[in-house]
Amino acid sequence: MKFQSPFYPDALTAFKKSRFFSGLNQQEIETMLQGFLRETWKKGSIFPSQQTLERFRVLIKGRIEMIKMHPDTGRELTVMLLNPGDAFDVVTLVDGKAHDVIPQALDDLEVLSVPMSTVRNWINVHPAFNQTLLPYLGEQMRTLENLAADLALHDTVTRLGKVIMRHAVPGDMVAEPHATPVKLVHNLSHETLARMTGSVRVVVSRHIQHWKEQGTVDVRRKELAIRDLGELVSPELKEPQEIKGNRNAIP
């Protein structure tokens, strides 16, 4: 990306804020930025595996859902949700192999891409880049570790509560002064929330409706607000009877 590009200031600002490049000084960032190309992707687009194998991308605007799919059943699981400043695919960057994951655009996207070979060269010639890369990789590994633990150790209602809590931020909703709006999650479909939880849409919808009837959450204009964060994962929180009765039939 050239200095003269009208998108350069936004790209430079995004790189400075990115956890992936935050350890670099401005001169190093500006030098690296010269090798990137700007791409735009429409909401719902899926990045072809060959493209993720050949080019490394940094997300500037929008969100990407990283999905794993069972080849026989079609069941899907969201392994990670990427936000502006995140990079992909770091797995392919490290091992040089195609990553069996589906990156899907949840919004209209703006990304910057560069050849994988270029980024691997940065690893060799920029010590400061390594100092930023390794903590970023550690953070992603911890995210996957937490996901694996949740799937193995917690039931669906607890996992859903934990997903929502991870994305909750303090604040107020109109007409709900004691509720907490949910960042990132509030405008995701129940189907997406189900993939993030390791469940199916019908179960997620029932749990959210049950919480709404209990007064635990409030749903207005496709926004989700929480009156009591702790109650979402409280052992005393009772599930709807129809979900209990079908626990073995519906995950």
Number of structural domains found in the chain: 2
Task: Report pLDDT for 181.
Answer: 56
Task: Report pLDDT for 13.
Answer: 85
Q: Domain range holding 160? A: 155-249
* Amino acid occupying residue 54: E
Task: Report pLDDT for 41.
Answer: 95
**pLDDT, tens only, 17-27:** 887 887 788 88
Task: Report pLDDT for 236.
Answer: 45
Residue at a domain's end among 151, 168, 183: 151
Asked whether residue 56 falls in the same domain as residue 179, the answer is no
Task: Report pLDDT for 175.
Answer: 42
pTM value is 0.77
Task: Report pLDDT for 249.
Answer: 40
Asked whether residue 24 falls in the same domain as residue 118, the answer is yes
Task: Report pLDDT for 242.
Answer: 44
Residue at a domain's end among 128, 151, 174: 151
**DSSP secondary structure of 174-209:** TTBTT-EEBTTTTTS-HHHHHHHHTS-HHHHHHHHH
Distance CA 34, CA 215 (A): 52
Residues of the chain with pLDDT under 50: 172-175, 235-251
Size of the chain in residues:
251
Which domain CATH number covers 36?
2.60.120.10
Residue ranges of alpha helices (H) inside the chain are: 8-17, 26-33, 49-54, 90-95, 116-125, 127-153, 156-166, 190-197, 201-214, 241-245
Which domain CATH number covers 159?
1.10.10.10
**pLDDT, tens only, 73-95:** 888 999 999 988 899 989 999 89
- 1 within some domain: no
